[in-house]
């Protein structure tokens, strides 16, 4: 079912969640599928994005979410929370046991707060090995590869992206995720040079869902923007309570 959602006429609007409560709301509102936001989960646990939580913490959050919803769940595993293909597959297998149907895995690394792309040939080889191991273990998983070309190298992003997508497609990827991609012309060119369903993410300059559909986008996700908006609202509410010296800002009546 989750795989089919990437090939329907209208784009899949993936609701990014971070805990059981947000997953329950997403299902209540009729979203077709949900995916975790690594940044939102990290922030909720008091740290920052970039595999600064342990995999067991991520697994615990995924378990809590899976227990309260019937929606297809994809989990952002960042760089895999491991080094070798077998270790990464071991982590994916644990998620699969919870009913998780998809993962995001990225082709960049974050070192001392600075993100850089890993070698595309090395990553595509690792990806190929991961997919082969998953097939050997009979684990069905939608592999959405996040390429960070538009995050780290905007000047050369388009040709580098097209080259990387070709390699990842050959390696067996099921989808391609390009955060920070917003330019309609670039989206059109990428779609024209890619048979994988294209996933874009909420950004201030991003076109409307209808326009993205016309450009050929198949999946639209929210990243951590909804979570950040919620935190900003919480801060404003708490500030208002303090300033008013009462709970009137909560509109309890």
Burial of 231 (0-12, 13-18, 19+ CB in 10 A): middle
User: Which pLDDT belongs to residue 154?
Assistant: 67
Residue 41 and residue 55: Cα distance in Å, rounded? 12
Q: What is the mean pLDDT of the chain?
A: 96
Given a contact cutoff of 8 angstroms between Cβ atoms, the answer to whether 94 and 58 are in contact is no
Query: What is the phi/psi pair of residue 111, to 5°?
Result: -125, 120
Taking only the tens place, the pLDDT of each residue in 220-249 is: 999 999 999 999 999 999 999 999 999 999
Residue 132 and residue 122: Cα distance in Å, rounded? 15
Token digits of residue 86 = 């077998």
The residue with greater pLDDT, 253 or 18, is 18
Given a contact cutoff of 8 angstroms between Cβ atoms, the answer to whether 200 and 220 are in contact is yes
Residue 17 and residue 37: Cα distance in Å, rounded? 6
- The owner of tokens 């409307």 is 208
Taking only the tens place, the pLDDT of each residue in 103-141 is: 999 999 988 878 999 999 999 999 999 999 999 999 999
> Using the 8-state DSSP alphabet, how is residue 199 labeled?
E
- How many degrees, rounded to 5, is the angle at CA 175 between CA 83 and CA 230? 85
Q: Which domains does the chain have, with CATH numbers?
A: 4-250 (3.20.20.60)
User: Which pLDDT belongs to residue 153?
Assistant: 73
Single pTM value for the model: 0.95
Taking only the tens place, the pLDDT of each residue in 134-174 is: 999 999 999 999 999 999 976 799 999 999 999 999 999 99
Q: Average pLDDT, stretch 70-76?
A: 98
Taking only the tens place, the pLDDT of each residue in 4-40 is: 999 999 999 999 999 999 999 999 999 999 999 999 9
């Amino acid at each position: 079912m989750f795989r089919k959602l990437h090939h329907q006429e209208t784009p899949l609007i993936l609701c990014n969640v971070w805990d059981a409560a947000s997953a329950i709301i997403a299902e209540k509102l009729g979203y077709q599928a949900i995916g975790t936001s690594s940044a939102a989960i990290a922030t909720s646990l008091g740290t920052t994005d970039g595999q600064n939580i342990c995999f067991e913490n991520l697994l615990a959050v995924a378990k809590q979410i899976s227990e309260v919803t019937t929606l297809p769940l994809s989990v952002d595993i960042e760089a895999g929370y491991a080094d070798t293909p077998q270790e990464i597959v071991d982590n994916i297998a644990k998620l699969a046991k919870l009913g998780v149907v998809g993962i995001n895995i990225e082709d960049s690394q974050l070192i001392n707060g600075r993100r850089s792309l890993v070698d595309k040939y090395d990553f595509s080889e690792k990806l190929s090995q991961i997919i082969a191991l998953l097939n050997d273990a009979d684990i069905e998983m939608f592999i959405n590869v996040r390429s960070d070309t538009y995050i780290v190298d905007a000047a050369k992003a388009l040709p580098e992206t097209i080259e990387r997508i070709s390699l990842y497609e050959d390696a067996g990827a099921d989808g391609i995720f390009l955060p920070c991609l917003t330019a309609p012309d670039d989206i059109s060119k990428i779609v024209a040079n890619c048979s994988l369903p294209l996933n874009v993410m909420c950004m201030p300059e991003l076109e409307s869902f209808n326009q993205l559909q016309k450009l050929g986008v198949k999946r639209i996700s929210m990243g951590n923007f909804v979570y950040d908006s919620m935190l900003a609202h919480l801060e404003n509410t708490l500030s208002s309570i303090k300033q008013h010296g009462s709970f009137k800002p909560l509109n309890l009546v």
